[in-house]
Amino acid sequence: MMAYDDTNIFAKILRGEIPAYRVYEDDRTFAMLDIMPQSDGHTLVLPKSPAENLFDLDPDSATAVILSTQRVARAIQAAFSPDGMLLQQFNGTAAGQTVFHFHMHIVPRYENQPLRGHSRNMADSELLERHADKIRQALNDTA
Ligand code: 5GP
């Protein structure tokens, strides 16, 4: 297995070298909007520890990621009222992984609305800022 490459974009975001539309953070995890969202509210949940994929995740980080995913998903549900929610994790290039720091996708699904492409089109920054605000607000309301 390849060693973790700490120059990947999410490692830079976690180090604060690149900005992100952060919606949630705790000791072990960080959640932000996907900047090429497949639907409104598409969010990524990352462990802070350097894991490239599922096989590298230590048990505490694995636990923390799923707990943060549930917490953030509840806030997205409150903020966007999607009809359903898809959790996705691309493990390895052949599976579609493009950023080699583990992350869980939370993809809200809306009836009669097909998903936009994976890692395809950058969303408008004002829209992302507004959506991040809505999720942060919902997290505050449910905290
Ligand atoms: P993967 O294919 O590795 O599961 O997905 C990587 C995801 O990260 C894609 O959905 C892509 O849109 C998103 N992404 C790529 N670069 C950035 C970035 O700089 N910031 C954020 N927030 N998301 C990114």
The CATH number for 82's domain is 3.30.428.10
pLDDT computed for residue 118 by the predictor: 87
| Residues annotated as catalytic (active site), given as ranges | 103
- The answer to whether residue 101 is domain-embedded is yes
CA geometry: angle 23, 39, 114, nearest 5 deg = 165
Range of the domain at 20: 9-142
* Best of 13, 99, 106, 135 for a ligand 1 pocket test (most atoms within 8 Å of beta carbon): 99
pLDDT computed for residue 80 by the predictor: 98
On whether the pTM is more than 0.85, the answer is yes
pLDDT computed for residue 143 by the predictor: 62
- The answer to whether residue 125 is domain-embedded is yes
Kindly state if the Cβ of 70 falls inside 6 Å of ligand 1.
no
**What is the residue with the minimal CA distance to atom 7 of ligand 1?**
119
pLDDT computed for residue 57 by the predictor: 96
Contacts of residues 79-86 at CB distance under 8 Å and 24 or more positions apart, as own/partner, are 79/41, 79/131, 79/134, 79/135, 79/137, 79/138, 80/40, 80/41, 80/108, 80/134, 82/39, 82/41, 82/108, 82/109, 82/110, 83/109, 83/110, 83/111, 84/108, 84/109, 85/109
Mean pLDDT for each 10-residue chunk of the chain (143 residues)?
87 98 98 98 98 96 98 98 98 96 98 92 95 97 74
**What is the residue with the minimal CA distance to atom 12 of ligand 1?**
119
